A and B are shown apart, each in its own frame.
Chain A
Amino acid sequence: MIRIGGVPVRFARPADAQRAGVAMIHQELDLVPALSVAENVFLGREPHTRYGVPDPKRMVRATRALLEQSGVDLDATAPVERLRTGEQQLVTIAKALSLNARILIMDEPTSALSPREVERLFAVIDQLRTAGVALVYISHRMEEIGRVADRATVLRNGEVVAEFAARELTASQVAEAMVGRPVQQMFTTETRPSEDEHVLMVDELVVTPKAGRREPAGISLSVGAGEIVGVAGLLGSGRTELLEALYGASPGTITGGRIQLNGKEYRPRSPRDALRNGVAFVPEDRRISGLSLDHSVLANTVLSVVDALARFGVVAAGREREAAHNAAAQLGVKLRTLADPVGALSGGNQQKVVLGRALLTKPQLLLLDEPTRGVDVGAKAEIYRILGEVAQTGVGILLASSEPAELVGVCDRVVVLRGGKTAHEFDTALAGEGELLAASMGDVR
């Protein structure tokens, strides 16, 4: 039973919940890109004048007041599509406030934010808290829960399995509660990178996004056989652009510099071309660019190799099943049958399917963009274990991530990008998360 203010309630639809003062900030932002901030906040209930004519001035004024109330500095007349993800999120919060929300549910609100935007969000949250708003904050990130929450509840398979006072909470406690067994170690990667065998050499590479400006200096880095190299940097630092350029996913964006793959010049024209050269890629957002959610686990797993499995263009069903089965077993994908739609799997298992597809191509260089975003702690640890095993077979891995703990825990070295060029390089045996963050923000000389 759900009670609000002591009164039992039952919500048949979101509008009922809104009326009761409950609002939710979704992981996927539900804003209309072409409309302004104010128009989005008052969508469907635009203020009118006494004569029933829409009153945009009043709407803008009311929006400004709401933004001010949550300590946000945004132009109420700017179209939402021109705002950054973090700012768009603040708009949805303002919208919730305009509905007089007393209870605000936030689902992974920081998953797409840069550290600076996260700080800003937390400031807003603090302000809301002082104003008496109750918040339910859903997150995978332990340090955020410690920072934001008073109490933490851990759910597993739809049941409450643990409750903590957030101040006493440790990451391993939570991880244990989530997985249901002691987590031996989060990061079990033990790699033996080869010193002199370079899989990838990137020299002064200039990546110019289609709408972007040309950068003066470029990115330089190398990945050895069996080495895991991290790519750090804030949103817009060129992380994703670098990986996409190396995979041929956005041809024409390389405007300078050289890439060598196993000592040979390499300039991929398409993902297909990259795969043929032994380069595989796990993209950032599995739902948008990784999987066909309605299709089976089988179809999604073998998609990159169906050509290779076919003889004279004919795919033998047995070989297809065998390949998918082996990949699922190697990665420990939990599923009932290979025929299930991949969209029915959990986030962690979906991510393993994407990873399995990349590994089936037997790559020499594996590119990963945020491979554990939106993945539970148990699956995270397993993905790290798999990456370690893959590296031990001599595959070079380039891993872009916005989580410093992940980079430091998994990688041998970390390259920090800032404004489209290499700003720093760390040996993770010698540097910690703090140095990494500082370098990303530009505080280190």
Chain B
Amino acid sequence: MTGRRVLVTLFRFQSVFGLVVVFAAAIVFSPSNDGALVFLGADNLLNVVRAISEIGILAVGMTLVILVGGIDLSVGSVVGLASVGVAELLTTNDWALLPAVFAILALGLGFGLVQGVASARFRIQSFIVTLAGMQIARGLARMWSGGEGVSITYGDGPGQAPVAFSLLGERTFNGTVPIPALIFVVVAALAMVLLRVSAFSRHIYAIGGNEKAARLSGVPVVRVKVLVFGICGLLAALAGIVHAGQLNFGGPNDGSGYELNAIAAVVIGGTSLSGGRGTVLGTVAGALLVGVLDNILQLNNIDSNVQLIVVGVVIVFAAGLQRLRPGRAQAGP
């Protein structure tokens, strides 16, 4: 009985335990510098979080979409669109910082809402809708920038972005914590609280568990799904803004493939692709796990192509674990 409970808990937080294991392995394999482990250096650890911040923000939105039984393939392209958009507005159009940021966030939100309406209200599979959205956002990004990247220079002159925007590439708290990492942590914390206490989250899980039953129980299925896609689009735009700020550059082709990295973090985090089961905590751990893996392989100067292979193996392993998860079929008396 208690053994089963331990097992259930283990599976529930599989990615957290996975993260602990990978973390321990990273300590073992870390090169050292003057007797201190490079991996455990505060600088290095914060860099890990910074490196995954964009994918992490995307993965939080993706978790919500997957929980309602959908998928959003457009987020990578929206990152590109948002990075171009914010760069253009700040430089070419000379907008002030806040209006530009909010305009781009609204753009992402709107893009997500439209996809949500198409898939929830008009019942086109979200895979198809967001596959189309992926093409459309990429096309818009290239049209907006004229196909070229948009470099961001800072200053007060015309065509120059406000200096405040360059903070995204900086660190806060006496130059220790990278700002993108801070944004990711705040987004993840908000989402965790949202999924824990809100009536909205009960609706999200119910739809993923059994959409028909949810509708018959009075859950406003279409509204919830549209909102979830909206949030995912909004977070994609946020990731795009962070991306532009870190690179001082808006790239129309940037962010391609990010959607798959985000889905990978969600899957490693133990969220079921069929919906209704999963947590943001798992996703955060999943993203960190990939980040730590990448980091330790880098510290040991291992070929970046090997990193891809390792991450691939981890994904399959995590998905395989899901199949062992004690389900209701084996639920005891």
Q: Which of A309-330 contact B (CB under 8 A)?
A: 309-310, 313-315, 317
Q: Does A304 contact B (CB under 8 A)?
A: yes
Q: Which of B41-49, B77-85, B206-214, B234-242 contacts A (4 or more CB under 8 A)?
A: B206-214
**Interface 1/0s, chain A 276-312, versus B by CB < 8 A?**
0000010100001111111100010011101101100
| Cβ contacts under 8 Å, B220 to chain A | 270, 272
- Looking at A281, A292, A314, A315, which has the most chain B CB atoms within 10 Å of its CB? A292
- Asked whether B50 is an interface residue with its Cβ less than 8 Å from the other chain, the reply is no
Q: Which of A293, A303, A343 contacts B202, CB < 8 Å? A: A303
Task: Tell me, rounded to whole Å, the shortest Cβ–Cβ distance linking A277 to chain B.
Answer: 11
- CB contacts (< 8 Å) of A290 on chain B: these are 213, 216
Point out the residue from A307, A315, A317, A343 that lies within 8 Å of B331, measured CB to CB: A343
Q: Measured between C-beta atoms, what is the minimum distance from A333 to chain B in Å?
A: 15
**Pairwise interchain contact B198-A340, C-beta atoms closer than 8 A:** no
Residues of A contacting B198 in the complex (Cβ-Cβ under 8 angstroms) = 310, 313-315
Whether A281 contacts B216 by the Cβ 8 Å rule is: yes
Closest beta carbon of chain B to A323's beta carbon, Å: 12
Interface residue B327 (Cβ < 8 Å from any Cβ of A): yes
Number of B residues whose C-beta is below 8 Å from A?
A: 25
Chain B interface SS verdict (over half): helix
Q: Are A343 and B216 in contact (CB under 8 A)?
A: no
Query: Complex formed: what's the CA distance from A307 to B203 in Å?
Result: 9
- CB nearest to A315 among chain B residues: B199
CB interface residues, B 81-118, toward A, < 8 Å: none
Contact partner of A293 (CB less than 8 A), chosen from B203, B210, B218, is: B210
Given the known inter-chain contacts A288-B212, A315-B199, please indicate yes or no for A295 contacting B205, CB distance below 8 A.
yes
Q: How far is the CA of A281 from the CA of B220 in the complex (A)?
A: 16
Asked if B121 is at the interface of the complex by the 8 Å CB criterion, the answer is no
Task: Please indicate the chain B residues that have their CB under 8 angstroms from the CB of A295 in the complex.
Answer: 205-206, 209, 276
The answer to whether A289 touches B212 (Cβ under 8 A) is yes
Number of residues on chain A facing chain B (CB within 8 A): 35
Q: Say if the beta carbon of A109 comes within 8 Å of chain B.
A: no
On B, residues with C-beta under 8 Å from A are: 197-200, 202-203, 205-206, 209-210, 212-220, 276-277, 327-328, 331-332
List 30 A–B pairs whose Cβ atoms lie within 8 Å, in order of A's numbering: A270-B220, A271-B215, A271-B217, A272-B220, A274-B218, A275-B218, A281-B216, A288-B210, A288-B213, A289-B212, A289-B213, A290-B216, A291-B213, A293-B328, A295-B276, A299-B209, A303-B202, A303-B206, A303-B217, A303-B219, A304-B217, A304-B218, A306-B203, A314-B199, A315-B197, A315-B198, A315-B199, A344-B328, A344-B331, A361-B218
Residues of chain A touching chain B, judged by Cβ–Cβ distance below 8 Å, are 247, 249, 270-272, 274-275, 281, 283, 288-295, 299, 302-304, 306-307, 309-310, 313-315, 317, 340-341, 343-344, 357, 361
**Other 11 A-B pairs with CB < 8 A, given A292-B205, A314-B198, A344-B332:** A271-B216, A271-B217, A275-B218, A289-B212, A292-B210, A292-B276, A303-B202, A304-B217, A304-B218, A314-B199, A343-B331
